[in-house]
A and B are shown apart, each in its own frame.
Chain A
Amino acid sequence: MAGVWIIAETREQALELLGAGRSLAPDMGAAITTIVKKETAPPEEYISCGADEVLQLPALPPDQPFGAFLPVIEQEVKAGSPDLILFNATARGKEMAARLASRLGCGLCSSCTALAFDKSSGSVVMERLAYGGAAIQKLTSSAKTVIITVPPRSFEPAQPLEGRQGKTRELASPPASAVRIIERKPKEKIAKDITEARVIVCAGRGFDKKEDLALARELADALGGELGATRPLTEEVHWLPEDLCIGLSGVQVKPELYVGLGVSGQVQHMTGVRGAKVVCAVNRDENAPIFPLCDFGIVGNLYDVVPKLIAELKK
């Protein structure tokens, strides 16, 4: 029997991948095997959400990273010989997927944006972005097994079904990894998750200094929205936290309204707002790449335009 395997760290990730797996498994005639940390949830939950078999990863000593599981997972995958393996495109998921792909000698479609099974050819057809989002690359695999990483929130989490049955097995503890964790610094919780925001005002390099971002915040408040940023603001000048970085190397957002202030419109950034209903821009350079990529754009100095916009909105 064909197999779809999902490998996840958390319950949420596992349920999303089960959602993805269940969209393909019936057409592939495949059973779904779920490898997930034992502590995340009882196996019955994964079984009711579509898993035919749950392989539980035991707890690790505190100094061991998730990557330590690689040899144990490799052994199971080699024995089970699945057709498709799904990982989440998280930092740990991406690293493990690439290392497993190397060990299996198989292909890996990174950050897959669309996934389908072509019954006539019997192959999985995958899509992903390339050239900073300027292109869509469609891929198939010539090897039996192919691995895919799926960005968070690409698939609806699987919902439980009545009367499902499956098997459960606990995997052995892995040998110690050469990479040891000596300290974990949990992330300070950010106030808002901009991937859920209805309106986003995004600040770009057009702002002269950090204090001026108050203007962007004021417009966001007037619109009932959240503040976002381009990569230079979060990673070069560090004016805003990295969680607010929109684009290929940040988050993908789907607001009703996106307003870019002093955002030039590089493809890596704009690919992150592809899902927005309406895209607007304020930029003083009338030749900025953002103008053809937006619905409405004001050509002008944001320091002059934004206060006027706020006044107009308050009318």
Chain B
Amino acid sequence: MPTIVACFKWVVDEAYIRKGSDGKLDFSSVDYKIGEYDRNAIEEAVRLRDAGGGGSVIGVTVGTPESAKGVKDGLSRGMDQAYFAADAAFRDLEPSQTAGILAEVIRTRIPQYDLITCGEGSSDLYAQQVGPRLAELLGIPCVCFVQKLSLEGGKLRAERRVEDGVEVVEAPLPAVVTVLPDINTPRIPGVKDTLMAGKKPATTIKKGELAGSFDGVLKTAAMTASSMERTGEKLAADAAGIARFVDSLRKRGVIG
């Protein structure tokens, strides 16, 4: 019966980011969510637990204290318990810092585990580093970009997608995997799941309770809104609109 650690991140929902008049990012009306790819990591952990006839899924996340909502959200997706490394300083962390904190939590709080699942990348930075960095810090094997996964006899078997095809690999446990979005379809938590999530054990760990300074090495010199706006001429679906549409494309020289 496997013990599986699922890593996830509570992130800004990028759909609500606006471009301010000064070209800066406007976060004033943003909402937050569990990273899209992390939902697959949680689902896969839960699926493997259930396929293994029991065991447990332990969620681990890092963030500012406001991310507590994300812990409950994560627990509503089928995990059994969660560790939340929370500190006001844990804001805008770079991947090396996130991996360092996760590794320290796992090392000191979860004495035995078989597998760690991560998403292929976070929804906000999408740097795709935390999984492989975590494996290195814990000194265990790592298999990234997995589209199919099973556990058997102290080993994992995974299909990892690479540019020239698929590699079917085996690795001894414990190991880290990062999963692709099409490995499963994440559940949508119902009211009952949300109510049950409130009763599951969640442990908050402050920065002072962890050994390590978790300093970063990269400096974000600027974070600016990218400009994707175009002229945005809206045309009606009638004969005049369609004629104008085709005429416009001819004038721009993009069709013959």
A contact set with B: CB distance below 8 Å: 65, 67, 90-92, 94-95, 98-99, 101-103, 105-111, 125, 128-143, 146, 177-187, 199, 223-224, 231, 235-236, 238, 242, 248-249, 256-257, 266-268, 270-271, 274, 277-280, 286, 289, 291-301, 304-305, 308-309, 312-313
Q: How far is the CA of A96 from the CA of B168 in the complex (A)?
A: 18
Chain B residue, CB-CB nearest to A140: B219
Give 15 A-B pairs besides A110-B95, A179-B171, A291-B232 with Cβ atoms closer than 8 angstroms: A98-B128, A108-B96, A110-B128, A137-B220, A139-B220, A180-B169, A181-B169, A185-B166, A187-B164, A249-B126, A256-B254, A267-B15, A280-B249, A297-B232, A309-B245
B residues less than 8 Å from A299 (CB atoms): 234-237
- Residue of B12, B144, B165, B171 near A185 (CB, 8 A) is B165
Supply 9 A–B pairs (Cβ within 8 Å), ascending by A.
A129-B226, A131-B17, A134-B25, A142-B217, A274-B226, A298-B237, A300-B236, A308-B237, A309-B245
Q: Given the known inter-chain contacts A131-B124, A235-B181, A298-B241, please indicate yes or no for A279 contacting B230, CB distance below 8 A.
A: yes
Query: B162, A91: Cβ atoms under 8 Å?
Result: yes
Q: List chain B residues, Cβ under 8 A from A92.
A: 162-163
Query: A313 to chain B: which residues have CB within 8 Å?
Result: 246, 255
Are B223 and A108 within 8 A (Cβ)?
Answer: no
CB distance from A16 to the nearest CB of B (A): 13
Which B residues touch A111, using CB under 8 A?
A: 126-127
User: Is B231 touching A295 in the complex (CB atoms < 8 A)?
Assistant: yes
Contact A235 B237 (CB under 8 A): no
- How far apart are B115's CB and chain A's nearest CB, in angstroms? 14
| Contact, CB under 8 Å: A278 / B96 | no
Kindly state whether residue B72 has any CB partner on chain A within 8 Å: no
Q: Are B169 and A65 in contact (CB under 8 A)?
A: yes
From A98, A138, A236, A242, B222 is in contact (CB under 8 Å) with: A138
- The 10 A-B pairs at the shortest CB distance, nearest first, are namely A300-B237, A102-B136, A98-B132, A107-B218, A183-B168, A257-B254, A187-B165, A110-B127, A131-B14, A138-B222
CB pair B254–A277 under 8 Å, yes or no, is: yes
User: When the two chains form their complex, are residues B170 and A180 in contact, meaning their CB atoms are under 8 A apart?
Assistant: yes
CA distance A140 to B171 in the complex (A): 36
| Partner among A108, A141, A249, A271 whose Cβ is within 8 Å of the Cβ of B129 | A108
Tally B residues with Cβ within 8 Å of A: 83
Closest CB of chain B to A7's CB: distance in Å? 15
B126 touches A248 (CB 8 A): yes
Instruction: Kindly name the residue among A99, A111, A182 whose own CB sees the greatest number of chain B CB atoms within 10 A.
Output: A99
Give chain B nearest CB distance to A82 CB in angstroms. 15
B123 in contact (CB, < 8 A): yes
Q: Once the chains bind, are A101 and B96 in contact (CB under 8 Å)? A: yes
Q: Is the interface of B mostly helix, strand, loop or mixed?
A: mixed
Is there contact, CB below 8 Å, between A138 and B162?
A: no
Bound-complex Cα distance A128 to B221 (A)? 12
Q: Give Cα A242–Cα B163 distance, bound, in whole angstroms.
A: 11
Q: Tell me which of B127, B229, B248 contacts A296 (CB under 8 A).
A: B248
Check A179–B14 contact: CB distance below 8 A: no
Residues on the B chain within 8 Å of A186, using CB: 164-165
Q: A179-B171, A295-B232, A295-B233 are in contact. Are A271 and B226 (CB under 8 A)?
A: yes
Question: A223 touching B220 by the CB < 8 A rule?
Answer: no
Complex contacts, A133 vs chain B, CB 8 Å:
226, 228
Complex contacts, B228 vs chain A, CB 8 Å = 133, 267, 270-271, 274, 293
Given contacts A138-B220, A313-B255, contact A108 B95 (CB under 8 A): yes
By the criterion CB–CB under 8 Å, are B226 and A106 in contact? no
Contact B127 A108 (CB under 8 A): yes
Bound-state CA distance A187–B161 (Å) is 10
Complex contacts, B223 vs chain A, CB 8 Å: 130, 135-138
On chain A, the residues within 8 Å of B230 by CB distance are 279, 292-295
B163 CB to nearest chain A CB (Å): 5
Q: Once the chains are docked, how many angstroms separate the CA of A102 from the CA of B99?
A: 9
* Complexed CA–CA distance, A132 and B127 (Å): 11
Contact status A293-B229, CB under 8 Å = yes
Contacts A94-B128, A134-B226 given: A109-B136 contact, CB under 8 Å? no
> In angstroms, how far is the closest chain A Cβ from the Cβ of B201?
30
B79 at the interface (CB under 8 A from A): no
Contact B12 A278 (CB under 8 A): no
> What is the distance, in angstroms, from A120's C-beta to the closest C-beta of chain B?
14
Minimum distance in angstroms from B185 CB to a CB of chain A = 7
Interface residues of B in 82-96 (CB under 8 A from A): 94-96
Of B12, B14, B225, chain A has the most CB atoms within 10 Å of the CB of B14
B242 at the interface (CB under 8 A from A): yes
Inside 8 A of A286's CB, which chain B residues have their CB? 234
On whether the beta carbons of A102 and B132 are closer than 8 Å, the reply is: yes
Report if B203 contacts A (CB, 8 A): no
B39 within 8 A of partner (CB): no
